[in-house]
Each structure stands twice: as C-alpha cells, then as structure tokens.
Amino acid sequence: MPTSSRTPAGNSTTTAPDLPAIQRHTVRVLIAAQILGGIGMGSVLSIGAVMAAELSGSEALSGTAATLSTLGAAASAIPLARLAQRLGRRAALTTGAFIAASGSLTVIGAAALGSFPLLLLAFALLGVGTAVNLQSRFAATDVASPEHRGRDLSLVVWFTTVGAVLGPNLIGPGEVVAETLGMPELTGPFLIAVGAQLAAAIVYLIALRPDPYLISRATPSDPKDDAPGMVRGRGALIFAIGSIAASHAVMVSVMSMTPVHLVNHGVTLTIVGLTISLHIAGMYALSPVFGWLSDRVGRVGTILIGQALFAVALVTVAFGEDDPVLVTIGLILLGLGWSASTVSGSALVADLVTGAARARIQSRTDLSMNLAGAFGGAASGLVLSMVGYSGLAWSAGLLVLLIVAGATTMRTARPLSA
C-alpha cells in the first residue's frame, strides 16, 4: 500500500488506498466479531420471553423481552451512527459491543434480585448489540464495489449464524455453569454471552483498521458524489426502509411469542432452544444466496421472494400451531423470509445513498426497523392472549400484504433495482 498519512481520528489513509484489500480485511474482521456478538443475541431470543413471563408473573408481558431489546437497538441506532460519522465504524461498533456486554451482566443481576424493571433495562442494553450487528452489515458496504454490495453485506450477515445459532443451544451448558456457581435459573447462557460480547468489542477495537467508513468518506466511489453525500430516488428509499421495517415486525411478532407458546404446550426448554436455533439459522444461513440474488435478479424481486416465504411460514404455523414440528418448520421459513427481505432491502438502501449521507440514512433505517420490531414485540403478547398463536400469525400476514403492494407499485412505476 502506498505511503500513509494520519487523519485526525488516528486512522491510516493513503492517496491511493487499495480498496479491494481494505474491503477483504474489513469483511474478515466484521465476520469474526459477528460470530461472537451473535451469541448474546441468540440467548435473549430463546430465553428472554420466558424470563420476562416468570419475573413479571404475566404471559401478556412476555413480549417485553423483544420489545425492550428492539427499543434498545432503536434508541442506540442514531447515537452509534453519529459516533461513526465523527470517529468511524471502529469507535461505534466497539462502544456498542461493550454496552451489550453490560446488558448480559444486568440480566444476571435482575434474575438474582427478582427485579422485572431491572430485567427490562437489561434487555434494552442487550438491544444495543443488535444495533451493532445491524451497523456491521452496512459497514460491509462502505468500500464495497457496487456490483458486490449485496454479496459482501450478506456474507457478514451469514456469519452471524454461528453465534446466533450457538446462543440458544447454550441453555444446557449455561445452566450447568449457573448451577455450579450458584447463579439464578436461566442466567447461565448470559454469563457465557458476557465473555463473547467483550471479545467482539476487542476485535473491533484492535482489528478494524483502517476504518472503512473514514476511507469511504475520503475516497468516494462515484466522482459525482458531493461532500455531504446524496440520496437517489427518495420513493425507492422509502419503500426500501419500509419493507425492512415491516418485515422485521412480522418476524419479531411471531418469533418472540413462539417460546411462550411452546412452553405452554409442554415443550421442554431444550427443544425451545433448538427451535429458535433453527429459526435463527433460517435468518442467516442462506443470506449469501439472497445477497447473490439481489445482485443478479434485483433488489425488489428478492424482497418479493422474502414475502412469499413469509406467507408460507405464517400459514404453516397458523394451521400447525399444536404440532411443534410444524411450528419449527414455520419458524425456519419465517427466518428465510426475513433474510431475503432484509438483505435485499439493505442493499437497496446502500445503492441509493452515497458519501457522508450513508451513516445518517442507515441509522434511520435501523431506527425504523427496530421501532417496528418493538411494536411487533409489544403487540404480540397482547394478540397472543386475545386470539392465540394462529391469530397472531394471521395478523402478521397483513403486513406481508402491505409490502407486496408496495413492491408491486415499485416494479410497475419504475424499473430501479427491480
């Protein structure tokens, strides 16, 4: 690489940076940290609703686990993006990972004290880890070539599979650790998550150099980009953000109530953990396929594939609510639908926003996504108590119809990324 100079943020830059090499290094670092950070996310998804129901004494409040986690992610999206704008992705991602680790510690404290309000705070802090995962997928596009944005973004998303699938399966080993140390029931996996989240923070802090966002600011990929950045196609951008948000609400609303539904039907926590692991595998395992599809056949078309998968998933869980096997199949399909919609929608956002505007618009995307997820998580507990699990699935189907209508309008009105 040519001789480097120092920026005010302390990151190494060059007059002619080797962007492909920087991108390869960035993706490798993001992948390593995503594997570690995913463990904490998997723990809260599989155990959070059960812990909330036990500490609150009300099944209707079980959705607060997903609600507070997504609210935490939403509340931290813009501050982390502003930190990235000022100091780069490394500072933002490191800070967020440390906060997520404090959330896992707070879960343990809440369980020890039997404090439901403290548990809600813990879930909100853990939600910052979700914001870190979301920002990481956009970090993968900072210096990516336009024809490979979907692929690189989806690779980072894919490797979240390892940690996120491992997290729910740590229930058994975690409880052995908790029993050995005299910790409260269900808290063992969160102790393991603390170590993983701290390790992710260290990876970001030490290895994410040079900073991809600062490089992208100094080296715009398009010579027509102005300093503050620009947005191309506001209608398409609104659709992209809306499809990501609504898809996330569909996924969170059904997924967050599945552990409670299964436990109420006599399913063991080990099987619940396996079900959520398979769901998370669906969320991430085929993301490179959907990234490739979004690059090859178009962003909007891949979003529609995601909605078709959602439709099959919701029908499966609605008619098979009393069969744990069918519920598990439905949850896998639900994860696949989320993956197709989120990967292609995020790639479309990256296509439409350039320069310094990227972090700002991307943070609004994540904010919208997490607010929608928070609403879905909050409403799901009430819907479950009123109309049951199948009624929850049919209700989520209304959002799928809304996204399909928007996608159809987009493809009819304009061929952009169709």
Relative to beta strand 230-231, strand 353-354 is antiparallel
- Model's pTM, two decimal places? 0.73
- CA angle (75 as vertex; 174, 208 as ends), nearest 5: 70
Low-confidence ranges of the chain (pLDDT < 50): 1-10, 12-14, 221-229, 415-418
Ramachandran region, residue 251 (left: φ > 0; alpha: ψ -120 to 50; beta: rest): alpha
Instruction: Look at the block and give the residue holding tokens 């973004």.
Output: 153
Query: From CA 299, how far away is CA 352, in angstroms rounded?
Result: 12
Q: Using one digit for the tens of pLDDT, what is the confidence trace for 68-106?
A: 887 888 889 889 989 998 999 999 999 999 999 999 899
pLDDT of 32-69, one tens digit each?
Answer: 998 888 776 666 566 777 788 888 887 667 767 777 88
Largest CA distance in the chain: 66
- How confident is the model at residue 210, as a pLDDT? 93
Q: Is 132 exposed, middle or buried (0-12, 13-18, 19+ CB in 10 A)?
A: buried
Residue 120 has which token pair? 């809600």
Which amino acid belongs to residue 276? I
The single-letter code of the amino acid at 346 is: S
Two tokens, residue 361: 């618009």
Round to the nearest angstrom and report the end-to-end CA distance of the chain.
38
Which phi-psi region, left, alpha or beta, contains residue 153 (left: φ > 0; alpha: ψ -120 to 50)?
alpha
Cα 70 to Cα 95: distance, rounded to the nearest angstrom = 18
Beta bridge partners of residue 231, listed in sequence order: 353
